Chain A
Amino acid sequence: MESSRRSFLKIAGISALGLGAKPVLDVLASSGETAAPITMKGENALTAKQWGMVIDTRKLQSEEDLEPMIEVCDKIHNIPKFENKNHEIKWIWAEEFKHEFPMQEADYLDDKLKHMSFLTLCNHCEKPPCVRVCPTKATFKREDGIVLMDFHRCIGCRFCMAACPYGSRSFNFRDPRPFIEKTTPDFPTRTKGVVEKCNFCAERLAIGKIPACVEVSNGALTFGDLDDPESEVRQVLRNNYTIRRKPALGTGPSVFYIV
């Protein structure tokens, strides 16, 4: 009965093919009806190749001059205030010369410079070491040059804190919520066990606003696209001598200082 077995298998095969094809055809037929949802950037979103900042320290002589910038950042990003220095969360803060520019301090440095407070924040490096070491890709470099964190993916291993030569990252040793003076609902808080840092106000750039610290700086801070020769930062960089933090490390900081 060779032939009947053979023809049975043939018919069975064709029937199975027919049954299997129907759902596929149904899907193909229905796919044209409704447009699939899409995601896009906002109309006013500011874009760049590499965002950068110039800090004119001539206009920021005392700690009081830095305060409004630090304050506004703390406020809009729900940054907690801890009494314990070890728990401190820093996005933007004041640092003295020898910590800001190590290897560049000298015995005969001007006293004024020696004791001045310098505004310090994440450098959003060209080659960020924190991104290289992150085991979960929670920290990544965006196409506009911002080194951003995805808090959802951070497992709190703190490799990035060890890798960052600028101390720009802080770890949440405790639940930060009880220590936030006034919570801004627009921006999420963080949770215990994640690392955080400055995000160059990515949430503001998305709606066409410049970073909050730049906005309140009265012109002491300049923000713009380092890749665009016509941008304001590039003009400031052309007209002034600027230094960067630890340039010899090769991280390519995007924050420049006029000293």
Chain B
Amino acid sequence: MPNNKKMYDKGKVMVGLCIFVVLITFPFWYNLGKAAPAPEPKLSEKAKAAKECVMPTAYMKAEHMQILNEWRDAVVRDGKRIYENSSGKKFNMSLTNTCLDCHVEKAEFCDKCHNYASVAPYCWDCHIDPKEVK
């Protein structure tokens, strides 16, 4: 039985493999420990004073986009503009006039996380940040 377990050009293959592995993992070890820290959205004074948003903070963090979608459909489709939350408090469903009234600094609040997570919601193509009004 011929010995067909012999590896040809073992040295070159091994060196090549090593170089390949190093190159392919380069982005991982090059960026090791350099991960950008998760941003802390800055609350405005008014938001701090209010303590709680329309829903509990944890819910807002995870589901604010859902709420905004529901608000949009309720206002545009059904003409319902008042939102009553679980504790019976009422809000006018408006991104510019309610959300941004409290979260005054869009750049410090919305944009900070959105930029970090690389999401670009198209809200601001039409809805106005009162700070940017000329």
B127 is an interface residue with CB less than 8 A from chain A: yes
Complex-state Cα separation, A84 to B111, whole angstroms? 35
Query: For the complex, what is the distance from the CA of A39 to the CA of B74, rounded to whole Å?
Result: 7
Judge whether A186 is part of the interface by a CB distance below 8 angstroms: yes
A41 touches B126 (CB 8 A): no
Q: CB within 8 A of A185: which of B55, B80, B81, B96?
A: B96
In the assembled complex, which residues on chain B have CB atoms less than 8 Å from the CB atom of A182? 134
- Across the interface, do B96 and A186 meet the contact criterion of CB distance under 8 Å? yes
**B86 touches which one: A35, A45, A152, A207 (CB < 8 A)?**
A35
Task: Check if A20 is an interface residue, CB within 8 A of chain B.
Answer: no
CB of A60, distance to nearest CB on chain B (Å)? 30
List the A side residues contacting B97 at CB < 8 Å.
185-186
Write out, one digit per residue, whether chain A residues 182-214 have a CB within 8 A of any chain B CB (1) or not (0): 110110111100000000001000110000000
Contact A188 B133 (CB under 8 A): no
Q: Which residue of the partner chain, among A36, A142, A151, contacts B126 with CB atoms under 8 Å?
A: A151
Task: Return A145 CB to nearest CB of chain B, in Å.
Answer: 12
Residues of B within 8 A of A89 (CB): none
A188 touches B127 (CB 8 A): yes
Q: Is the CB of B74 within 8 A of A206?
A: no
B9 beta carbon closer than 8 Å to chain A: no
Instruction: Report how many residues on chain B are interfacial, defined by Cβ distance under 8 Å.
Output: 31
| Cα A40 to Cα B87 with chains together (Å) | 15
Contact status B128-A41, CB under 8 Å? no
Contact A42 B126 (CB under 8 A): no
Q: Which residues of B contact A206 (CB under 8 A)?
A: 79, 81
B81 and A140 form a contact (CB under 8 A) = no
The answer to whether B38 has its CB under 8 Å from any CB of chain A is no
Nearest chain A CB to B94 CB, angstrom units:
8
Complex contact A39–B79 (CB within 8 A):
no
B130 within 8 A of A: yes
Does B78 sit at the interface, judged by CB under 8 A? yes
B2 to chain A, nearest CB (A): 51
Query: Are B126 and A40 within 8 A (Cβ)?
Result: no
Query: Quick one: closest B residue to A149, CB to CB?
Result: B76
Residue B88 interfacial (CB < 8 Å): yes
**Shortest CB distance B56–A (Å):** 10
CB neighbours (8 Å) of B80 from chain A are: 39-41
21 sampled A-B residue pairs with Cβ under 8 A: A37-B84, A37-B85, A38-B84, A39-B71, A39-B80, A39-B82, A39-B84, A40-B80, A40-B82, A40-B84, A41-B79, A41-B80, A45-B79, A144-B79, A150-B76, A185-B97, A186-B97, A188-B96, A188-B126, A190-B126, A202-B79
A: residues with CB less than 8 A from B are 34-42, 45, 140, 142-144, 148, 150-152, 182-183, 185-186, 188-191, 202, 206-207
